Amino acid sequence: MSSLPRKAKVKVQTVVSKDEFSSFSELSSASEEDDKEDSAWEPQKKVPRRLKQSVPKESKPKRVPRVKKNTLQINDGSEDVAVKEEPNSSVPIADVALEDRKNKLDTVQTLKTAKTKRKNSAQSPSTQRTKKLKVNETNKASNFDSGSNSTDIPSTSTMWEGACKKEESEDDCASGQPPLKKMKTETCPQGQPVMFPANADNIIEEVEMNWDIVQVLSERTNIEPWVCANIIRLFDDDNTIPFIIRYRKELINNLDADSLREVQQALEELRAVAKKIRSTIQKIKKEGKMSECLLKALLDCKSSEELEHVSAPYKTGSKGTKAQRARQLGLEGAARTLLENPGELNLLSYIQPNVEGLSALQDIATGVQHILADMIAKDRDTLDFIRKLCQNRYISLQSSLAKVSSKKVNEKDVDKFVLYQNFSCNIRNIQHHQILAINRGENLKVLTVKVNIPDGVKNEFCRWCIQNRWRPRSFARPELMKILNKSLDDSFKRLIYPLLCRELRAKLTSDAEKESVMMFGRNLRQLLLTSPVPGRTLMGVDPGYKHGCKLAIISPTSQILHTDVVYLHCGQGFREAEKIKRLLLNFNCSTVVIGNGTACRETEAYFADLIMKNYFAPLDVVYCIVSEAGASIYSVSSEANKEMPGLDPNLRSAVSIARRVQDPLAELVKIEPKHIGVGMYQHDVSQTLLKATLDSVVEECVSFVGVDINICSEVLLRHIAGLNANRAKNVIEWREKNGPFVNREQLKKVKGLGPKSFQQCAGFIRINQDYIRTFCSSQHTESPGPIQGVAVTSPAGVEVTNEKQGKKKSKIAVNVVLQPNPLDQTCIHPESYDIAMRFLSFIGGTLCEIGKPEMQQKINLFLEKEGIEKIAEKLQTTVHTLQIIVDGLSQPESFDFRTDFDKPDFKRSIVCLEDLQVGTVLTGKVENATLFGIFVDIGVGKAGLIPIRNVTEAKLSKTKKRRSLGLGPGERVEVQVLNIDVPRSRITLDLIRVL
Per-residue pLDDT tens for 780-826? 544 444 333 333 334 444 444 344 444 444 444 434 456 788 899 89
Give the per-residue pLDDT at 646. 86
Distance CA 550, CA 563 (A): 8
Q: Per-residue pLDDT tens for 426-445? A: 998 898 889 999 999 998 88
With bands split at pLDDT 50, 70 and 90, how would you rate the model's confidence at 232? very high
Q: Of 299-313, 700-714, 766-780, 966-980, where does the model show the most confidence? A: 700-714
pLDDT bracket for residue 993 (50, 70, 90): confident
Is the model's pLDDT at 123 over the cut of 70? no
DSSP 807: S
134 band by pLDDT with thresholds 50, 70 and 90 = very low
List C-alpha distances in Å: 398 to 138, 411, 442.
58, 22, 12
Q: What does the alpha-carbon distance between residue 192 and residue 873 come to, in Å, rounded to a whole number?
A: 9
- pLDDT tens-digit readout, 547-565: 889 999 999 888 899 999 9
pLDDT of residue 144: 39
How confident is the prediction for the chain on average, in pLDDT? Answer: 75
Residue 769: CB partners within 8 Å, gap ≥ 6? 820, 822, 824, 825, 893
- Average the pLDDT over each of 549-553, 567-571, 586-590 and give the range with the smallest value: 567-571
| Alpha helices, DSSP H, located in 549-686 | 573-586, 600-612, 631-635, 638-643, 649-662, 664-668
CATH 3.30.420.140 holds for 531-671: yes
Confidence of residue 202 (pLDDT cuts 50, 70, 90): low
Please give the share of the chain, as a percent, with pLDDT higher than 90. Answer: 21
Say yes or no to pLDDT of 915 above 80: no
Question: What does the pLDDT read at residue 903?
Answer: 65
Beta bridge partners of 933: 947
Answer yes or no: is pLDDT of 131 > 80.
no
The pLDDT tens digits for 403-422 are 864 556 677 778 788 888 88
* Interaxial angle between packed helices 225-236 and 257-286, expressed in degrees from 0 to 180 and rounded to the nearest 10: 80
Please tell me which residue, 137 or 629, carries the higher pLDDT value.
629
Secondary structure of 220-257 as H, E, C letters: HHCCCHHHHHHHHHHHHCCCCHHHHHHHCHHHCCCCCH
Return the amino acid letter for 413.
D
Residue 536 has pLDDT above 60, yes or no: yes
The predicted pLDDT at position 778 comes to: 65
Q: How many Å apart are CA 177 and CA 185, to the nearest integer?
A: 15
At how many degrees (to 10) do helices 497-528 and 304-311 cross? 150
Cα–Cα distance, 193 to 974 (Å, whole number): 46
Which has more confidence, 654 or 77? 654
d(CA 611, CA 908): 6
Q: Find the radius of gyration of the CA atoms of the chain.
A: 35
Q: Determine the pLDDT at residue 723.
A: 92
Beta carbons of 530 and 902 less than 8 angstroms apart: yes
* E-strand stretches of 467-578: 538-542, 549-554, 560-566
> Binning pLDDT at 50, 70 and 90, where does residue 626 land?
confident
Answer whether 685's CB lies under 8 Å from 660's CB. Answer: no
pLDDT in tens, 3-58: 333 333 333 333 333 343 343 334 344 344 444 433 333 333 334 444 444 444 44
Distance from C-alpha of 991 to C-alpha of 946, rounded to nearest angstrom: 7
- Per-residue pLDDT, 936: 87
DSSP state of 470: T
Cβ-contact 764, 731 below 8 angstroms: no
Give the whole-angstrom CA distance, residue 840 versus residue 819: 19
Q: What is the pLDDT of residue 834?
A: 93
CATH number for the region 317-524 comes to 1.10.3500.10
Tell the burial category of 146 from Cβ atoms under 10 Å away from its Cβ (0-12, 13-18, 19+).
exposed
Considering only residues 787 and 868, tell me which one the structure prediction assigns the higher pLDDT.
868
pLDDT over 90 at 324, yes or no: no
Banded model confidence at residue 317, pLDDT cuts 50, 70, 90: low
Q: Is the pLDDT of residue 74 over 70?
A: no
Cα separation, 163 vs 200, whole angstroms: 13
DSSP state of 570: S
Write out the DSSP string of 663-731.
-HHHHHTTS-GGGS---SSTTTS-HHHHHHHHHHHHHHHHHHH-EETTT--HHHHHTSTT--HHHHHHH
**pTM exceeds 0.85, yes or no:** no
Over residues 359-374, mean pLDDT: 90
Beta strands 798-800; 765-766: pairing state? unpaired
Is-contact 368 479, C-beta < 8 A?
no
pLDDT at residue 835 greater than cutoff 90:
yes
Whether residue 252 contacts residue 227, with contact meaning beta carbons closer than 8 Å, is answered with yes
> What's the number of CA atoms in the CB half-sphere (13 Å) around residue 167?
16
- For the chain, the straight-line distance linking the first and the last C-alpha, in angstroms and rounded, comes to 83
CATH no. of 213-313: 1.10.10.650
Question: 580: burial class by Cβ within 10 Å (0-12, 13-18, 19+)?
Answer: buried
Distance of CA 518 to the CA centre of its chain: 12
What pLDDT score does 954 carry?
74
Q: What are phi and psi of 65, to 5 degrees?
A: -60, 140
- List, as one string, the DSSP characters of 741-806: -SSGGGGGGSTT--HHHHHHHGGGEE--HHHHHHHHHHHT---SS-STT---SSTT-EEE------
Nearest alpha carbon to residue 661 among 638, 639, 628: 628
Residue 619 pLDDT level (bands cut at 50, 70, 90): confident
> What's the whole-number mean pLDDT along residues 450-458?
91
More confident residue, 178 or 945: 945
Mean pLDDT of 490-508: 91
Give pLDDT, residue 114: 43
* Nearest Cα to Cα of residue 906 among 556, 590, 631, 582: 590
Measure the CA angle with vertex 873, ends 871 and 875; round to 5°.
70
Q: What amino acid occupies position 531?
A: S
* DSSP class per residue in 277-327: HHHHHHHHHHTT---HHHHHHHHH--SHHHHHHHHGGGSTT----HHHHHH
Q: What is the pLDDT of residue 769?
A: 80
* Domain ranges (residues) in the chain: 213-313, 317-524, 531-671, 911-994
What are 174-182's contacts with CB under 8 Å, separation 24+? 174/53, 174/54, 177/53, 177/145, 180/51, 180/53, 180/144, 181/754, 181/755, 181/756, 182/755
Largest CA distance in the chain: 108
**How far does Cα 448 stand from its chain's mean position?**
34
**Mean pLDDT of the 275-290 span:** 89
| pLDDT average, residue stretch 691-716 | 88
Please say whether the structural domain 911-994 has been given the CATH code 3.30.1370.60: no
Please give the pLDDT value at position 721. 92
CA 607 to chain centre: 45
DSSP 74: E
Once rounded to an integer, what is the mean pLDDT over residues 176-188? 34
Whole-number Å distance between alpha carbons of 871 and 839? 8
